[in-house]
Amino acid sequence: MVKALFFDLTDTLQDFDWQIQWKLFIPIVEKEFNLKIEPENFRQKYQQVYESYRLGWLKNDAEFFKLLFRQLGFNASKAQISRMAKKHLEIRKQFTKLPKDYKKTLNELRKSFKLVVVSSGVAPWGYYDFKSIFGFDFKKDFDAVFFSSEKGFLKESGELFKLALKKFKLRPSQAAFVGNSYCDDILLAKSFGLKAVFLNKKAEPKGKADFEVKELRGLLEINEKLKSL
């Protein structure tokens, strides 16, 4: 019997468009430093530094941008780092949004399950999005939140699952993980003994998922089946 639903964050609990981020943010950086940036090099360096941030090796946005600009070969002042960190947050409202019926879906699911976020993401950005953009208190919407940047383990290590299971005294079979990536979410959850619900936005094969839904609110249609899984 499933007693808890564990959720991925990006493209599961919030929709996110990386391409729009690059289109918006790269010109801002170019203007700040008065130079032309090669987009692919910027994206690669950004992703490399992002890996350190989501592992908790960097403690805040200032450290993130200080390292990013150093990797890019920019001589960035503290004021420039601060401005870029602020701009980076401000533009997020243009490329992230909540799924339809987000609040209604969570309110209904909460009646039957513990709700937990398990994410290989950066905590400050997740908290910012939900509080400043969406207007929700992230920690009140969920019974527990586990970010890799706060715990020091990526989701794929399985350690975040273990922490969540331990907190609620659950066996793996008593939790179902909801995610949008078949490889990174569904196969991962199954490998650690959890049930898996595939948020299948691209009409991919269901594979080893226990259930599949096309959108987050589709969980309400399989609510009863989940409880007895």
Ordered mean pLDDT values, 10 residues apiece, the chain (229 residues): 96 93 97 96 97 96 98 96 97 95 95 97 96 90 96 96 98 97 95 96 87 96 87
pLDDT at 203: 80
Packing angle, helices 39-54 and 18-33, rounded to 10:
110
DSSP assignment letter at 92: G
| Cβ atoms of residues 55 and 67 within 8 Å | no
Residue 149: its pLDDT value, please? 97
179 DSSP β-pair partners: 198
- How far apart, in Å, are the Cα atoms of 134 and each of 108, 127, 215, 217? 19, 10, 18, 17
Quote the pLDDT of residue 110.
95
pLDDT of residue 160: 97
Query: What is the per-residue pLDDT for 144?
Result: 97
Secondary-structure class of domain 4-16+98-227 per CATH: alpha beta
